[in-house]
Amino acid sequence: MFLTSCRTGVFRISGQQIRRLCTNGGARQDITKLSLITPIRTEPQFHVDNFEDNKTNITTLPSRLRIASQNRFGAHCAIGVIVDAGPRYETNRTNGLSHFLEKLGFHSTESFKDRDAVQAVMEECNAIFDCQISR
């Protein structure tokens, strides 16, 4: 006998009841006895991807900041800031500066007193934020 649990309690199910639940009673064809050389009668259905070849728009602000943007369907937004800075551009004199800036990425501003204030506002929007450096 097998035991299954449920929110209301524990029920006993016999092996015969399990076999009855797992078989179809002859109503359908047994899939283990299908021929491997006979073609399938139905056409396979493939996922059709709604691919949109969106053009990347590059806008240059008066401060010479370049912004690359794409229109995408959905209620999501991703922002990436890429700067010509980091370990690749550091000298012996400025070694570790990019790591220091990474740690200050979301710490505080004039509008937010500390990292917790920034995080609270981001969490209200279900946003994820991170600051990373790489070569």
Q: Residue 62: which pLDDT band, with cuts at 50, 70 and 90?
A: very high
Report the chain's C-alpha Rg in angstroms: 30
pLDDT in tens, 93-104: 878 777 777 777
Q: For residue 67, what is the enclosing H or E element?
A: strand 66-69
User: Which of 68, 69, 102 has its CA nearest to residue 85?
Assistant: 102
pLDDT in tens, 95-130: 877 777 777 777 778 888 888 888 888 888 888 777
Per-domain boundaries in the chain: 2-28, 57-124
pLDDT in tens, 65-95: 888 888 877 777 777 777 777 777 788 887 8
Q: What integer pLDDT is reported at residue 100 of this predicted model?
A: 79
Cβ count within 10 A of residue 41: 5
pTM of the model: 0.39
Q: Are strands 2-6 and 66-69 parallel, antiparallel or unpaired?
A: unpaired
Q: Is 89 helix (H, G, I), strand (E, B) or coil?
A: helix
Residues that are catalytic: 102
C-alpha dihedral sign at 115, 121, 127, 133: negative
User: Which of 25, 23, 20, 2 has its CA nearest to residue 12?
Assistant: 2
